[in-house]
A and B are shown apart, each in its own frame.
Chain A
Amino acid sequence: MSDRQDGNVGGTGAAAAAEAAAPGADRRTVLKGATAVGIAGFGATYLRGFRFTSAAKAAGSSPVKLGFIEDTSGNLAVYGIQKLHAAQLAVKEINEGKTLKGAPNIGAGMMGVMGQVAKDPPVISKEGTALDVVSDGGAKGRTDLVFDEDDEILIDSGDSGIMGRELSLVAADGQSNNAIWQQLARRMIQQDKVDVLVAGFASAEREAIRPIVDQFKQLYFYTNQYEGGVADANTFCTGPVCEQQVIPTVQYMVEKFGPRCYTIAADYNFGQLTAAWTRAFIPLVGGQIIGEEFIPLSVSEFSQVIQRIQQAKPDWVMTLLVGQNHHNYYPQAAAAGLRFPMASTVNMAQGYEHKRFAPPSLANMHNAIQYQLEVPTARNRAFVKRWMAMFPDDQYIGEMAQNTYFTIHMYAKAARLAGTTDQQTVKKALELGWNIEAPEGSVFLEPGTHHCAHPIRMAVCDENHNVRFVRDWPMIQAWWLQRLGVNLVRNPEYKQYTPDEDPYFKMFGNSKKA
């Protein structure tokens, strides 16, 4: 890109910061001067703890340990393997001296300013991972959906590993078992003494290990999309949350298919809380929940659930199903002739049910995602190509695998800026707020809530299981914790908020009765 930022910033403490930021700068660094000034000014006070000395950057010391727990066996293995591969790819790239574009303090990016738009965006084939365009969607215009961007986001970091130290992945299998997760978290923190912990699929797993994380003040990244509400000074949640996904989904579905929604959700904190968000928000767009059902994770036989849905005759079904047991709902519902439009915040984008099950099991599935394999941008095609070069047998890259990938790159950038892997200092560096150019688009880590603003796209699966994106929201903030007044930089907290604690939700409940 033309507007590379080089050498135009001064300041003592900020020099190293700018050095770290400069390779990450790109055309989106529209505030380039302001950014540098921002760092320079802010750095004087905030970055006092950082060690920007050459000694700290001396090569040849022991590797930086990245602790990583995911489920590579058990009910949740279908997601865990993708996430492990994402971590392996990111670690490999970091050790080869690569980094994702991005810098601290920029704020939310402006996805799509250079992108092409089209009234009918292209349809991406379900076959393979080459992202073949089945139909090009007709004439291109300037007013509709972003479907292409021309950036390469992976650039040289000017470093190998993190400050010359190799980044080493300490990975373990949680076996989809919360008790094993706790043992592994203790082992990683106390014995392996990892510099950073990236872990967690199910919310139950995260809540199982979070007390251990807090006990040892471990820098911890949770990369899943989840139900939201975790306000924990040691935890950074880099996946999208309910206000970013449920609200666009519900709005779109009510508008397109009608007001009557039937929810089936996994019976644990994620499913219960996401269903609560759906219930709380749907009256605002004129919809209503006509049925709600929570299904234990061990259930894999859905005949009765299907009959209940047929009896209720909804306009559309919200499916919040988690794990390999639950995924059998789709082929069973298709075999039983259930044909209602479906929406979700998890299915298709994570467990790639549209590739695992024969069409039309997932026909008419809608999901407001920040990422899934099919995102039709040039930067994503390049990312998928890099991934498939490393893991040629993989079938899919789900939304959380991508989160894991950019999160690890973001950690490396923050540690470089901090000049140390000391966890409290890296945490402070992260709390500058970071803009990262991820395969999904521009992501912004909001410092006060430790959550990310994401670009959101509405993905739709057709009867042949090809995918198209029919609406996009260039940047949705994770605003709910902000409204609750959470600011982890000023007031460290260690809890998870639930919709019950938000007076607004009770107001929604009343309006439903009226």
Chain B
Amino acid sequence: MDGLALLASVLYQLGTNAAFLLLCALGLIVILGMMNIINLAHGELMMMGAYTATMAVQRGIPFPLAVLLAFVVVGLFGAVLERLIVRRFYGRELGALVVTWGLSLILAQGTLILLGPFMPAIQIPGGSVSLGQYSFSVYWLVMIAVAAAVVVLLWWLYNRTTFGLEARATMQNAAMARALGVDTERIYMLTFSLGAGLAGLSGALLAPTTSIAPFMGQQFVAPAFITVVVGGATNVIAGAVGSSLLLSLVRTPVGFLFGAFLGLVALLFAALVIIRLMPDGISAYLQRWHDRRTRLA
């Protein structure tokens, strides 16, 4: 029983760590991974999602609906952002980096001016279940499932729909895609909007567990970039799943045995080693391994 409880506890920690990384990275998977835009406003898009959901819940809207609302609102905001600003910087990575950084400052400081330095957080939904001496938050168990479901949906969208096919074509070779009749402008806008919406969605999902403040987004930016960069660009979705699992596989035991601080150190160190050994990220390594296997077969 004790052993079983300990196993459940370790699995729960692994799950929450991986789900946290994945949720942080969701929007960035699309925007950085696919469009190759270094979006430094990613944290602020998550902040907008959290604010939208929190304000909706405070006005009596049920939490699940508030999360969907955050997805829609931030997605629409992303579309506007893409039309007005971001599209002028395609192909200019450093330009995009600076402009999204500027956007992040405007969004955070603007929120500070309009809504003040913090807002009361909403309560964490759901109670806890216990096993042996351990107890687990139901909300985090749901979050693990939701993170997994969103990744599956994203995979389906990009690999099983016409939009996904056109999007992948546009990202690989925009000129060729245009020549074949793909409306690449529209694809860019939809992709950026989807990325923004996903950032809003995960901001809303994380909102009950964190402080609602204008600069709250900053805490998510580093984990998001680490997850996506370690994952690599060859296959961003598989890469992000692989990297969040691998990084939490390193972080969880170290954190459990030696504390949160060393857990974080282990995570950063693991990211360093992985990027050194696999400069193109986990997904490129997986791809090569997959290619080798298919060649052998």
B117 on interface, CB distance cutoff 8 Å: yes
Closest to B264 in A: A296
Among B120-128, B163-171, B188-196, which stretch is in contact with chain A? B120-128
Tell whether A332 pairs with B124 under 8 Å between CB atoms, given A294-B261, A304-B13, A304-B256.
yes
Residues of A with C-beta under 8 A to B252:
304
Contact yes or no, B135 A304, CB < 8 A:
no
Contact yes or no, A325 B117, CB < 8 A:
no
- Contact partner of B133 (CB less than 8 A), chosen from A293, A311, A332, A336, is A311
B71 on interface, CB distance cutoff 8 Å: no
B243 on interface, CB distance cutoff 8 Å: no
Residues of A with C-beta under 8 A to B133:
310-311, 313
Contact yes or no, A331 B255, CB < 8 A:
no
Residues of A with C-beta under 8 A to B256:
304, 307-308
- Contact partner of B136 (CB less than 8 A), chosen from A292, A298, A308, A336, is A336
In Å, the complex CA distance between A325 and B218 comes to: 11
B51 on interface, CB distance cutoff 8 Å: no
* Interface bits B125-139 vs A (CB < 8 Å: 1, else 0): 011111001111111
Tell whether A310 pairs with B9 under 8 Å between CB atoms, given A73-B117, A304-B260.
yes
Residues of B with C-beta under 8 A to A5:
none
- Contact partner of A77 (CB less than 8 A), chosen from B13, B209, B213, B263, is B213
* Interface bits B94-137 vs A (CB < 8 Å: 1, else 0): 00000000000000000010000110110110111110011111
Contact yes or no, B127 A74, CB < 8 A:
no
A327 on interface, CB distance cutoff 8 Å: yes
CB distance from B61 to the nearest CB of A (A): 18
Closest to A333 in B: B137
A305 on interface, CB distance cutoff 8 Å: yes
* CB-CB contacts below 8 Å: A332-366 with B: 332, 334-338, 356-358
Closest to B133 in A: A310
Residues of B with C-beta under 8 A to A267:
261
* CB-CB contacts below 8 Å: A74-96 with B: 74-75, 77-78, 81
In Å, the complex CA distance between A72 and B109 comes to: 12
Contact yes or no, A77 B130, CB < 8 A:
no
Tell whether A72 pairs with B264 under 8 Å between CB atoms, given A303-B13, A303-B16.
no
Closest to A324 in B: B211
Contact yes or no, B139 A298, CB < 8 A:
no
* CB-CB contacts below 8 Å: A364-422 with B: none
Contact yes or no, A335 B210, CB < 8 A:
no
Residues of B with C-beta under 8 A to A308:
255-256, 259
Tell whether A335 pairs with B261 under 8 Å between CB atoms, given A300-B211, A307-B134, A325-B211.
no
B12 on interface, CB distance cutoff 8 Å: yes
Contact yes or no, A296 B260, CB < 8 A:
yes
Contact yes or no, A298 B219, CB < 8 A:
yes
CB distance from B35 to the nearest CB of A (A): 27
A328 on interface, CB distance cutoff 8 Å: yes
CB distance from A308 to the nearest CB of B (A): 6
CB distance from B207 to the nearest CB of A (A): 11
Contact yes or no, A337 B130, CB < 8 A:
yes
Contact yes or no, B12 A307, CB < 8 A:
yes
Contact yes or no, B137 A304, CB < 8 A:
no
CB distance from B239 to the nearest CB of A (A): 22
B63 on interface, CB distance cutoff 8 Å: no
Residues of B with C-beta under 8 A to A293:
259-261
In Å, the complex CA distance between A144 and B118 comes to: 40
Contact yes or no, A335 B139, CB < 8 A:
yes
In Å, the complex CA distance between A470 and B254 comes to: 40
* CB-CB contacts below 8 Å: B136-164 with A: 136-140
B281 on interface, CB distance cutoff 8 Å: no
Contact yes or no, B134 A335, CB < 8 A:
no
Tell whether A78 pairs with B118 under 8 Å between CB atoms, given A325-B211, A328-B210.
yes
In Å, the complex CA distance between A307 and B5 comes to: 11
B215 on interface, CB distance cutoff 8 Å: yes
Residues of A with C-beta under 8 A to B219:
298-300, 325
Residues of A with C-beta under 8 A to B234:
none
Residues of B with C-beta under 8 A to A72:
117
In Å, the complex CA distance between A274 and B167 comes to: 55
Closest to B123 in A: A358
A295 on interface, CB distance cutoff 8 Å: yes
- Contact partner of B263 (CB less than 8 A), chosen from A304, A332, A334, is A304
- Contact partner of B137 (CB less than 8 A), chosen from A176, A332, A357, is A332
Contact yes or no, A310 B209, CB < 8 A:
no
Contact yes or no, A311 B213, CB < 8 A:
no
In Å, the complex CA distance between A304 and B135 comes to: 11
In Å, the complex CA distance between A332 and B130 comes to: 15
A301 on interface, CB distance cutoff 8 Å: yes
Residues of A with C-beta under 8 A to B17:
303-304
CB distance from A505 to the nearest CB of B (A): 22
In Å, the complex CA distance between A311 and B133 comes to: 7
Contact yes or no, B127 A335, CB < 8 A:
yes
Contact yes or no, B213 A303, CB < 8 A:
no
Residues of A with C-beta under 8 A to B213:
74-75, 77, 324
Contact yes or no, A304 B16, CB < 8 A:
yes
Tell whether A336 pairs with B209 under 8 Å between CB atoms, given A298-B219, A304-B13, A331-B123.
no
Interface centre among A73, A298, A325, A358 (most CB of B within 10 A): A73
CB distance from B261 to the nearest CB of A (A): 5
CB distance from A454 to the nearest CB of B (A): 28
In Å, the complex CA distance between A67 and B137 comes to: 46
B214 on interface, CB distance cutoff 8 Å: yes
Contact yes or no, B211 A331, CB < 8 A:
no
In Å, the complex CA distance between A332 and B207 comes to: 12
* Interface bits A257-296 vs B (CB < 8 Å: 1, else 0): 0000000000100000000000000000000000011111
Contact yes or no, B134 A311, CB < 8 A:
yes
B20 on interface, CB distance cutoff 8 Å: yes
Residues of B with C-beta under 8 A to A324:
118, 211, 213, 216
Residues of A with C-beta under 8 A to B13:
303-304, 307
In Å, the complex CA distance between A307 and B12 comes to: 9
Q: A interface vs B, CB < 8 Å?
A: 72-75, 77-78, 81, 176, 267, 292-296, 298-305, 307-308, 310-311, 313, 324-325, 327-328, 331-332, 334-338, 356-358
Q: List 16 A-B contacts (CB under 8 A).
A: A73-B112, A73-B215, A78-B117, A294-B261, A299-B219, A300-B219, A303-B13, A303-B140, A304-B252, A308-B259, A311-B9, A311-B133, A325-B219, A327-B211, A336-B137, A336-B140
Q: Which 10 A-B pairs have the closest CB atoms?
A: A337-B135, A337-B128, A77-B117, A324-B211, A303-B16, A335-B124, A293-B259, A336-B137, A335-B137, A300-B210
